[in-house]
Chains A and B, each alone.
Chain A
């Protein structure tokens, strides 16, 4: 069959159209193949949103979310597994130093991990975000286009509530050679602090110079509610150089005030609710060793949960009283119970978990027990120990008693 000329022209036109259509189709297919993860409804050209994602309300789990990103911005990050530097070229979070401008170049980017979504990057800082702190988020959109947004979590609006609960020794009278103080707080305290926030004032309100021992390791109990303050024992001990040069921190017959500053930050970073002051009077130094023979022991009756009570002729160190005194059976088995101190640490009471039984018991006293001036059993703080340094010391002594 032969075609007429107009038919031929028409079929050629159709062929050209078909080829053109084919090319367009191939091009479209290739485009889809090269960029297979381009999602429908791409938001190219829309302005990105930068915000803090804090779903759990937990600053330590806060994230920075950048949404509405054009596909081109993210493509370098999709090409291969990005390094930290690759991520930070696109999204960089920095801390804004107080009273300084954003994006200062000398500050390193905040460490954390990045995750890529369809049109978003989520940055999870390694240590969360501090409430109230301002962070600069700089986004590189390519082609020299950069945007920086300042983000921050709301400052915690919590009122200061931690107080100094009490200070041991609780007595208003202390010896001139007082060795240590325990400051008890109502809630856990922060990591900074210590001696910077404790002062000793004399009767005229003047600060006593360097009365405390500057320790490198600050001495806290496990939950950071008790802080130990040592009076500089160089100044406490006679004949020791600081004592000779500066005298003791405390002088007999005078009154002193211990001041704990309100500025001491607690575990929440908040100051104390109020300043703490305790005034005490200083009496002559105590240079006698402890003598258990002078202790009065009140023994409870059998079948009761009444406390065993020891009364001392002077206050002892509260911290040591709570662990250096205990009760065991005559056979040495520890008796379970709770110790307490009373009457300005002149009394130690031990309430047993199970009722006392008829029989022999003993009070176990570790020889580390001390009074307020560091005197131990049979050994005063001032004693010259040169000739006896090699002698092995008894770790504990026991005082027998009988329950009937």
Chain B
């Protein structure tokens, strides 16, 4: 009898507690759940340490709270020789089965995060790795993390086919600034980049503004060439995107011009040379001046002063090879395939040696 009363009282108390749970609190903008990557590609960090990771196959971007994965290692990033072999060993496979897709440095811990795909075809597995200040490589267990996500819409399809439309968008680069994530995407069939500005925190319905970017290099002809890499950068107080294209115009355009369905005309501020593909770019400060550091597949790493980005007249006439803002080639940075800023004085790179090994190296900023 007594026991029944106690149970009753407990039940009542529990009911009261449940009733007292606040229900009026606004729901989160986008539901948070463990990321479910089909593939993993470009990475970029927000200043507070939120990691944006693109699933290129699913055209989805996850904003991941790294939790303990952000703080669990020794601060900084130690150089790791032949990191591709080290990663392959950790993942139980051969180096030829590992494709490194991006590198990003955590803004607070300065640990390096590396995205890779293990294996081939349908069986390929996405993996996120962390390299810490002791050079220890850890696999980040993303299944234990929380993330919000946004999925890019498919390109327009009016064919009305019974077969479900295939996702044919690819995410080529991302950058975050002031509550907005800029995403460059490429469709399978259209030879033009779509650029979206997504507000963050993601809202469930926000697919972002989509624009096609044109640039006016190579005489008076526009080309619909895809954007390879870009950074947000303030030019005379106005946020611009500085974008690198194939063969190798450097183009700026104001972020304010990104409107849904709009066409944006970029200004070509430099032609950096033919037969070349830009890979990665970062902005850094040295001796009170700012520079753009850009890695390329055939023309090495370029150091470009940003002080004339505002005043440089757009290049609209055919040129021989190079024009506009001049650059300096950094001989000490060879074979750079991935590039990010490690700290105020160093870059962190994944560089391919002449012998073919991929090394994770911290190099002084030039």
Contact = CB atoms under 8 A, between A and B. Distances in A.
For chain A, give the interface size range. Answer: 35 or more
DSSP majority for the A interface? loop
Contact of A190 (B41, B89, B121, B264): B121
A188 B297 contact: no
A192 B119 CA distance: 9
A191 B186 contact: no
A126 interface: yes
B73 to A, nearest CB: 14
A346 to B, nearest CB: 17
Contact of B94 (A95, A192, A222, A391): A95
A389 B263 contact: yes
Given A220-B188, A384-B220, A326 B228 contact: no
B156 A384 contact: no
A353 B163 CA distance: 12
A97 B158 contact: no
Q: In terms of DSSP, what is the predominant structure of the interface of chain B? A: loop
B120 A265 contact: yes
A98 interface: yes
Given A319-B189, A327-B160, A245 B121 contact: no
Interface residues on B, range: 35 or more
Contact of A127 (B91, B222, B277): B91
Contact of A130 (B94, B168, B191, B265): B94
A382 B224 CA distance: 11
B167 interface: yes
Interface string A201-214: 00000000010011
B191 A108 contact: no
Nearest to B118: A127
Contacts of A126: 91-92, 139
A108 B89 contact: yes
Contacts of A190: 120-121, 124
A392 B262 contact: yes
Contacts of A382: 221
A110 B90 contact: yes
B203 interface: no
Interface in B228-245: 228
B319 A241 contact: yes
Interface in B255-278: 261-265, 274-275, 277
B159 A339 contact: yes
Contacts of B124: 190-191
A283 interface: no
A386 B216 contact: yes
Interface in B146-170: 155-163, 165-168, 170
B190 interface: yes
B148 to A, nearest CB: 24
A189 B121 contact: yes
A338 B160 CA distance: 7
B158 A60 contact: no
Q: Which of B117, B120, B222, B316 has the most CB of A within 10 A?
A: B120
A302 interface: no
Contacts of A55: none
Nearest to A266: B121
A325 B247 contact: no
A359 B262 CA distance: 35
Given A111-B90, A127-B125, A390-B263, A239 B120 contact: no
Interface string A369-404: 000001000000010111001111101100000000
Contacts of A237: 218, 221, 223
A386 B220 contact: yes
B93 A180 contact: no
B92 A213 contact: no
A233 interface: yes
B226 interface: yes
B172 A217 contact: yes
Contact of B162 (A192, A336, A393): A336
A364 interface: yes
B20 interface: no
A226 B124 CA distance: 18
Given A107-B89, A220-B188, A234-B223, A323 B218 contact: no
A277 interface: no
Contacts of A368: 155-156, 189-190
20 contacts: A60-B123, A98-B94, A111-B90, A126-B139, A127-B127, A130-B93, A133-B92, A191-B99, A192-B99, A210-B275, A214-B297, A219-B188, A224-B122, A233-B191, A237-B223, A241-B247, A267-B123, A324-B157, A326-B159, A389-B263
Give me the 3 closest cross-chain CB pairs, A-B, nearest first.
Answer: A267-B121, A326-B158, A190-B120
